[in-house]
Chain A
């Protein structure tokens, strides 16, 4: 594999998605319904990234004895109660490791 081509290709496939929309879309005025819809982007994208990671750790749906699922539920409760991002990260990871220590990986 030519690693230089790999890097150049990945740079193009990343920058050409990020930059043009950010830089050019502001020049046209977007209709209000579009602006309204864009408000749903952050939670929708982040959720779509993590849900398969939590519910399908090995590529298959796993509910019972799923350490990620347990720790994710705890993290959700902590985030809901405290609104603190740092606490959510720290206590979420602590829950996972506690589970690993008690139940095993």
Chain B
């Protein structure tokens, strides 16, 4: 197969992340606007996007600050909300094991739901042996990061004039983005089982503290998928096909 250059991979990563950027724009702008409205200083709001760079955790933290929740509880909640990134890291680890710390530090810092979803598809494509798939990963990461900073800044500046913006349903953009990522990968019955179980448990476990229901639901979904794969009769899995390739 062809062997794309570093530059080609980088820009392919940026390009494939574009739809996710569209979905993240309203989210970032609302965060900027809500951050200041929840009582954080503009500098703290911007610093959160620059140094924490974790959309859902930032939203939840801003919400907790507005409610006057204590600092240790906010940090603990951030940790729990971010636990899914450990699953992402475990999934990507075999693909980035050859990289130096110079690569792993920034790629680790820039890990998001969106970049993970785009990049894992690229790494799993076994139809080419590109040496520079990590450049694709870098392109996706930088595109998401740059967009997040820009959107937070716009939200911060627009701040007051955007009051009532939360009633426009803009947070729905993230939901449709994720739907567009999930549906195309539900190609086998075990994945369907996994998704249904994850969704059902996420509702049942929703009342639990610190949003821990999210990680419980995700783990139940993964386990259900594995069980279904073991017991449901089905054609060759994607993994087998890749191994054969």
Contacts and interface: CB of A to CB of B under 8 A. Distances in A.
Nearest to B23: A89
Contact of A39 (B53, B172, B183, B238): B238
Interface in A36-89: 36-56, 61, 67-68, 71-72, 75-76, 79-80, 83-86, 88-89
B140 interface: no
A102 interface: no
A18 B109 contact: yes
Majority-rule SS of A interface residues:
helix
Nearest to B239: A36
A84 to B, nearest CB: 8
Nearest to A39: B239
A93 to B, nearest CB: 6
Interface stretch (B1-9, B142-150, B152-160, B197-205): B197-205
Interface of B: 18-20, 22-23, 40-41, 43-44, 47-48, 51-54, 56-58, 61, 65, 71-72, 74-76, 78-79, 82-97, 101, 104-105, 107-109, 111, 113, 116-117, 120, 167, 169, 171-186, 190-191, 194-195, 197-199, 201-203, 206, 213-215, 217-218, 221-223, 225-226, 229, 237-239
A10 B48 contact: yes
B205 to A, nearest CB: 9
A46 B177 CA distance: 10
Contact of B71 (A1, A93, A100): A1
B19 A45 contact: no
28 contacts: A9-B74, A14-B53, A17-B83, A18-B111, A23-B101, A36-B239, A39-B91, A39-B225, A42-B117, A42-B120, A44-B194, A44-B225, A45-B84, A45-B87, A45-B221, A46-B117, A47-B178, A47-B199, A50-B179, A54-B175, A56-B206, A75-B175, A75-B179, A75-B180, A85-B20, A86-B180, A92-B172, A93-B169
